[in-house]
Amino acid sequence: MTDTKITKEVVASHGLSVEEYQKVLEILGREPNLVELGIFSVMWSEHCSYKSSKVYLKNFPTTAQWVIQGPGENAGVIYIGEGIGVVFKMESHNHPSFIEPYQGAATGVGGILRDIFTMGARPVANLNSLRFGSLEEPKQRYLLNGVVAGIAGYGNCMGIPTVGGEVYFNDCYKGNILVNAMTVGLVRVDKIFKGNASGIGNPVVYVGSKTGRDGIHGATMASAEFGEGSEEKRPTVQVGDPFTEKLLLEACLEVFKTDYVVGIQDMGAAGLTSSSFEMASRAGTGIEMVLDDVPMREEGMTPYEIMLSESQERMLLVAREGTEEKIVEIFKKWDLDAVVVGRVTDDGFMRIKMHGQTVAELPVKPLADGAPLYNRPVKRPEYQTELQTLDLKTIKEPVDYNDVLLKLLDSPTIASKRWIYRQYDHMVRTNTVVLPGSDAAVIRVKGTTKGLAMTTDCNSRYCYLDPYTGGMIAVAEAARNIVCSGGKPMAVTDCLNFGNPEKPEIMWQFQQATLGLSKACSTLDTPVIGGNVSLYNETQGVAIHPTPTVGMVGLLDDVAHHCTSWFKNDGDVIILLGLNREEIGGSEYLKVIHALEKGMPPSLDLTLEKAVQDSCLEGIQKGLIKSAHDCSEGGLAVSLAECCFTAEGHRIGARIELPVDIRKDALLFGESQSRIVVTVSETDLQEFKGIAENCKAPVTVIGRVGGERLSINDLIELPVQEMEKAWSEAIPRRLGV
């Protein structure tokens, strides 16, 4: 195999450009053999090297007093006091999930879990952000079913609750669904582990499942546009084994209690290759590995296959010299393989041997850190101006607003996701305080009074219409959701899903969206502590809407002061924080009722946003606010409707009088940002108004809770039950279940 001649075709089939191959030749001073070429190919793939995105990722704010670990490790860590760190990260598994939805989604969950427990943390919650095409298409229903079952299958078997997330449906995802999985874990801050191969002579230990021919070239596949022939690429999909992962988790956490471990890294995309190279690169060392000792599932595996395999549930660990046997013993107790496969060396080279021969000899640093970096051309798309043009005069105001509201509640993007989250175990570990279905999930941090709020958000239609504003809104909305649950927004992980970066228009979207994210993260003081980039989300030249998904974690000092989105008691006063503007561009209303994805997305004033969030959070912390729900897709009317029925088994109506100074459809269904609907009891009204005024947040009393109907001016008059029926049946009905 090492004798295969490296022709132009072989280089191209490894996804390396002519220039990139030239750089390989320069680094090596000779031609690589096939194993070495394979290693270059995965290490320099977009997925591992961030070669197109790095120039923009540098703009993210990444530090704050509470940030312990920013980007660059397996996951970021923030400090929440009492010696406790919160580790979290979000990662994409889009392409594998499109090819085999169950296994693709399952291994996506498995992969992000390993990223978290590699850091020494115990995972305590999962979230996921999912995007599909229209449910009217059988293929999309199949994909949704498979993805949800895969997430449930893996997460439930691991005994980790899936507590929240989001699901969007839009035709732009029909050839490229998005599966972004996020995990949150807890760690003692003096027990954080990193991916470091330091200490010359230290043993390199392979732990976990055996290596098979799974997912070979997965990392390269994940970075190549789908064409008609992608059916052929199918057998490379990995199969997840959550039971083994559970053993791996417990074994790792046990070994972390000792002082045997120097560094550890998950074998994720590009498996043994990326884990060994990245660990050696961070420590400035080299590694000598003997592949004969790698546990293998199949006979006759070549060095190429072993180095590139993406078999799941494996870790690479560097131990203190002399502790090898004790480590092996611990893993053996958990029924897992643990084998010394190499040693740390001092010459900065990766030397890989098999059958007594050196099959690869590569300098670590130039390969791991020297990936080509691109400042790719950027160009505002020619269609953008036309896309942003929306003449409100051509949009007819509806005759029957009740009908519009029911149609919006029936839109799968807005409708209840209960059919999805009821398949997830969201209460295992008994820490979940606010279950899925409210604005952000809240879990308790056992042994303390603290709680964590968490959410994922991104309205990609806004990003398509104006990526800068869309990027800002993704962060602002995530923070708003955290605040509505009673949390103080702390930090962000992002999953940047875009099309082909070689197209200047896509790179422009990327540039603008990341600038927007950076701006909002700085203003709201929520640094980015990690994440992932997924490019080439295109099928036959058509890209998805730019989708920079934001995962955010917030802190509740006292978990008793959490809040849910639904109305509580008869007679409570309903207050709108924020302002209604005449904005219907990019709204779900415009899409569902007028079949248009056009206009400018709602504007975002970060000062106003902060004021609204601050007043809401203070009101919750002081125990004044009884419910808080932000206005997002579907606008104020949908938000108010949801407040009436999202509590399971508890319906309650409301009477609303809104000042009408803008178009009625914009008033009801426009998606102006920085708005939160809160309720307080009559006796607390003045005190809360005082807080809002102090924070400079616009505050308007708009109605009262009570009755069995929702009425808004003389525009909306509907029984709560009827609205709930439309909202709760929308997805099951389309799935035929």
| Binding to other proteins, residues 309-348 (CB under 8 A) | 311-312, 335
Indicate which single residue of 5, 8, 30, 234 sits in contact with other proteins (rule: CB under 8 A): 234
Q: Which is nearer to other proteins, 213 or 610 (CB)?
A: 213
Indicate which single residue of 42, 86, 90, 99 sits in contact with other proteins (rule: CB under 8 A): 99
CB of 379 vs other proteins, minimal distance in Å: 38
103 binds other proteins, rule: CB under 8 A: yes
The whole-angstrom separation of Cα 549 and Cα 462 is 12
CA max distance for the chain: 84
Q: Which is nearer to other proteins, 103 or 485 (CB)?
A: 103
Helix/strand/coil percentages in the chain, nearest 5: 40, 25, 35
- Lookup result for tokens 């590699």: 118
Q: Which stretch binds other proteins (CB under 8 A): 6-14, 98-106, 174-182, 281-289?
A: 98-106
278 binds other proteins, rule: CB under 8 A: no
Indicate which single residue of 64, 239, 392, 600 sits in contact with other proteins (rule: CB under 8 A): 239
| Binding to other proteins, residues 576-605 (CB under 8 A) | none
213 binds other proteins, rule: CB under 8 A: yes
Output DSSP code: residue 536. Answer: -
- Counted residue by residue, the chain has a size of 737
| Binding to other proteins, residues 497-536 (CB under 8 A) | none
Contact status, residue 303 vs residue 34, Cβ threshold 8 Å: no
Which distant-in-sequence residues (6+ apart) come within 8 Å of 656 by Cβ?
Answer: 574, 640, 702, 703, 710, 711, 712, 713, 716
Q: Which is nearer to other proteins, 103 or 728 (CB)?
A: 103
User: What does the per-residue mask of binding to other proteins show for 645-684, with x meaning CB under 8 A?
Assistant: ----------------------------------------
Question: Which SS3 state, helix, strand or coil, does residue 268 take?
Answer: coil
CB of 373 vs other proteins, minimal distance in Å: 35
The whole-angstrom separation of Cα 713 and Cα 702 is 10
241 binds other proteins, rule: CB under 8 A: yes
635 binds other proteins, rule: CB under 8 A: no
Q: Can you say how many angstroms the Cα of residue 502 is from the centroid of all Cα atoms in its chain?
A: 24
Question: Which SS3 state, helix, strand or coil, does residue 440 take?
Answer: coil
Q: Is 58 exposed, middle or buried (0-12, 13-18, 19+ CB in 10 A)?
A: exposed
Output DSSP code: residue 430. Answer: S
The whole-angstrom separation of Cα 305 and Cα 39 is 10
237 binds other proteins, rule: CB under 8 A: yes
Q: Which is nearer to other proteins, 241 or 477 (CB)?
A: 241
Contact status, residue 486 vs residue 517, Cβ threshold 8 Å: no
Q: Which is nearer to other proteins, 43 or 99 (CB)?
A: 99
149 binds other proteins, rule: CB under 8 A: no
How is residue 452 written in tokens? 């964590």
Q: Which stretch binds other proteins (CB under 8 A): 127-135, 235-243, 576-584, 671-679?
A: 235-243
Instruction: Name beta bridge partners: 454.
Output: 441, 553
User: What does the per-residue mask of binding to other proteins show for 54-93, with x meaning CB under 8 A?
Assistant: ----------------------------------------
Catalytic residue list: 47, 93
243 binds other proteins, rule: CB under 8 A: yes
94 binds other proteins, rule: CB under 8 A: no
* Torsion of Cα atoms, 423 then 426 then 430 then 434, to 10°: -140
Q: Residues in contact with other proteins, total (CB under 8 A)?
A: 20
159 binds other proteins, rule: CB under 8 A: no
How is residue 307 written in tokens? 């180095």
* Torsion of Cα atoms, 157 then 158 then 159 then 165, to 10°: -100
**In terms of Cα–Cα distance, which of 91, 180, 181, 60 is closest to 517?**
60
Q: Which is nearer to other proteins, 164 or 175 (CB)?
A: 175
284 binds other proteins, rule: CB under 8 A: no
CB of 102 vs other proteins, minimal distance in Å: 8
- The packing angle between helices 138-158 and 101-117, to 10°, is 30
Q: Which stretch binds other proteins (CB under 8 A): 97-105, 276-284, 323-331, 589-597?
A: 97-105
Point out which residues bind other proteins (CB under 8 A).
Answer: 99-100, 103, 209, 212-214, 234-235, 237-239, 241, 243-244, 297-298, 311-312, 335
